[in-house]
Amino acid sequence: MFNRIAITAFLFLAFALFSCKKEDGISYWGTTSALKSGAAWSGKIRATSNPFAGQKFDIEIRNHDSEGYWISSLSFYKILLKEGKYNLSNTLNQPPDDSLSGALYADGHDDQLHNFYKIAQNDSLSYLEVTSFDKKKSEIKGRFNLTLWRRKDLPGSWNAPDSIVFSDGVFHTRIQD
C-alpha cells in the first residue's frame, strides 16, 4: 500500500514540476555546461531555496524551444548551502528532510512528459560538488557528474536511451528567493 502511495505522490510531483508551459516571469541567472552522453550540452540555470529543507537549495537547468516552452530539465535538489561534495541519491524532493540530495531529468513538450530519468537506487558515483559559495551575493559555483536511468514503468518515447550520463558538468548561479 505504501509503495503505491509513494509512486502516486512521485508521479504527481514529477508532472507538477515538469509541466510544459511557456515560462513567462521565470528568471534564470548564470552559466552551465556539461557533456550529455558525450555531446556538448548547456541550458538556462536558476537556483532557489529548497521549500522542504532549511539551509538547502535546488538547481534547475532547462532547455527551451524557439517559442519559450521547456523541452528538457535537469534538476538537483536538497543541496547544502556550503562547500562540499554531495552524493546524489534516488530520493524525492519532498518532506521530511531526509538529508539526501537528489537529481532527476525529464524531457517533453506541449504539456507532455516524454521521458523521465532518475538516479539508480544503488548509485555511489553520481555527485554535485559546491566548490564556492559566496553567502553575501548568494552565488554558487560547482561541478557535477551523474548517471540517470529512464523510468520504464512510465509511458514515454520508445526511442529514448535507457540511461543518460552527464560528465564534466560545471555551473555558476545565484540563489533566487
Read out DSSP for 88-144? EES--S-SS--S-EEEEEEEEETTEEEEEEEE-TT--S-EEEEEEEETTTTEEEEEE
Mean pLDDT in residue range 96-123: 83
What residue ranges do the domains of the chain occupy? 2-176
pTM, entire model: 0.84
The answer to whether residue 26 scores a pLDDT higher than 90 is no
pLDDT of residue 111: 67
